[in-house]
Structures are given as C-alpha cells and as structure tokens.
Amino acid sequence: MQSVTLEVIESARLYGETHILWLPLPEAFATAQPGQFVMAYCGEGYDPLLGRALSFHRTRQGASGLEFALLFDVVGRGTDWLARRERGDELRLVGPLGRGFEPRPNVQRMLLVGGGIGVAPLVGLADRLVEEGREVTLVLGARSEAGIFPASQLPPAVELIVATEDGSAGERGRVTAPFQRLLPWCDQAFACGPNAMFEALHGVVRTSQTAKPVQALLEGVMACGMGICYSCAVFPRRGGVKLVCHDGPMFDLRDLYA
C-alpha cells in the first residue's frame, strides 16, 4: 500500500450519473487485482477529510504506458469534486487496498453479477477472465437503462444480460432471476452491488442447494480504508465481526449470510 499523487489523463461522464477517470498506472499499483480498491482523497486541503473508497475499474494501454480507471456514481460532495477533475489535475490515492476477487484456476464458466455501480470492479475482472480464455457471462441490473454500463465498452466475448426494474432495457426485474437461471451453468460466480442484492442472491444459493462458489464484493462505508476506524464493520450471521476494508471487500457469500 502506498500513497501516490497522479495526474488525470481523461475524465468523462460515461453514462447516466456515472463518471470515469483515467490515470497513469503507477508502479505501486501494478499488482492490483480486480476487486481491490483505493482511497481517493477529494477536495483541496482537508475538506472533505475522509477519502472515498473506489474499486479499480479496468486498465488499458495508453500513449505513455499503462493506465487505470476509476468508475463512480456522482452521489455527494466528494464524488462531485472527483467528476470535475480535468486532464492534468492532480489526485491523491492510497492503495491498493483489501482483498480482491480470487478466480479459481482451471475452471471455465464464470458468472458475474453487478447491481448499479457494482459493475465497476466486474468489468476489470471480465477483461482479465476473457484474456485468460474463460467464458464470461455478465448480468447487470439497475433501476432503468440509464444505470446500465454500455455494452459497447465490454470485451466482445462477454455475454451481457441486462435486468432493469422499470423494464426500459433487458428483462424487467432484478438480477436475481438471471442469476438463478445461470447458476447451474457456471463454475464460479462473482457479485458486487448493494447488500439487498447479496441477500437475494444468497436466497437463490440456499434454495438451489448448490456448492458453487460465489464471491461477494461488499460496498462498505469506509472512513480509513485500512483497518483502523471500524466504520466498515459487518456482522456475519454466524457471529463475529469482519472489516470490509481489511478482511474483504471480497467475502464468500455463504460466510456472510449462511
């Protein structure tokens, strides 16, 4: 984990209220895995004081070397400030933090499920899995079409299934139904989204009585991002306490809800 200050290469609204920032990939972040995150310090000086936890979104080859992206919804002062960064502006980040997704070796069929901005780390995971020659189906859910990551930005090999609550794109409803259909097909599943989505997915896993591994990437409320403040504590049903920033954000879905 290191603190780095980077110059923004590109900043754009990608869709709906969702923004993308491209930055040069520093040596310190070269080993970052899909599902790991950074704390991004927004604003001038110490206001706001606390960083925003943002997943590594994806990487690309830029004109001067590797670049990485952060994808985020504009939901408050910090993310509004971030979205107004322009090419050449500086941004301080601390990372890579947390435990990312852990795809099993020697399995082929990968099911990725994202709710809302939960798509952010799944795109980088899909990039990686496709590069490795695995089959990837990505299920994305949102309230409406405006919240769905553009299909044109995904690797062509990814099969995309969309579910929207208002039926404005894909099938009407939530990601739970396509997850239920595809769970028997996959060798391993990965999910990122709100807690209500994880509870619904766990309901499917429980009733289907499958032993398929499902990794959940939690979106915790994080103040420090490094195991000091306990703002991100979660309480698995079996008991005990886990810190999203330190023990996760990736957990086995069953460890949280079973």
Considering only CA atoms, which of 62, 32, 38, 68 is closest in space to residue 52?
38
In the sheet that holds 18-24, the strands lie side by side as: 10-15, 18-24, 65-73, 58-62
C-alpha distances in Å from residue 220, one per residue of 66, 101, 195, 211, 234? 28, 16, 9, 26, 8
The residue among 53 and 163 lying less far from ligand FES, judged by its C-beta, is 53
Residues 56 to 75 in contact with ligand FES, rule: CB under 6 A: none
**Considering CB under 6 A, how many residues would be counted as binding ligand FES?**
13
Minimum gap (Å) between residue 104 Cβ and ligand FES: 27
24 preceded by cis ω (within 30°)? no
Contacts of 219 (CB under 8 A, 6+ apart): 117, 118, 192, 193, 194, 195, 249
Tell me how far apart the alpha carbons of residues 202 and 191 are, in angstroms, rounded to a whole number.
Answer: 11
The residue among 48 and 227 lying less far from ligand FES, judged by its C-beta, is 227
The residue among 180 and 231 lying less far from ligand FES, judged by its C-beta, is 231
Minimum gap (Å) between residue 243 Cβ and ligand FES: 5
**Which position has the token pair 């099993």?**
104
Minimum gap (Å) between residue 42 Cβ and ligand FES: 16
Region of 13 (left: φ > 0; alpha: ψ -120 to 50; beta: rest) is beta
Tell me how far apart the alpha carbons of residues 116 and 249 are, in angstroms, rounded to a whole number.
Answer: 17
Residues 220 to 239 in contact with ligand FES, rule: CB under 6 A: 222-225, 227-232
Considering only CA atoms, which of 56, 27, 59 is closest in space to residue 39?
56
Binding mask 195-224 for ligand FES (x = CB under 6 A): ---------------------------xxx
The residue among 115 and 225 lying less far from ligand FES, judged by its C-beta, is 225
Minimum gap (Å) between residue 96 Cβ and ligand FES: 15
Instruction: Tell me if 248 contacts ligand FES by CB under 6 A.
Output: no
Minimum gap (Å) between residue 225 Cβ and ligand FES: 5
The residue among 205 and 232 lying less far from ligand FES, judged by its C-beta, is 232
Q: Which residues bind ligand FES (CB under 6 A)?
A: 222-225, 227-232, 243, 245-246
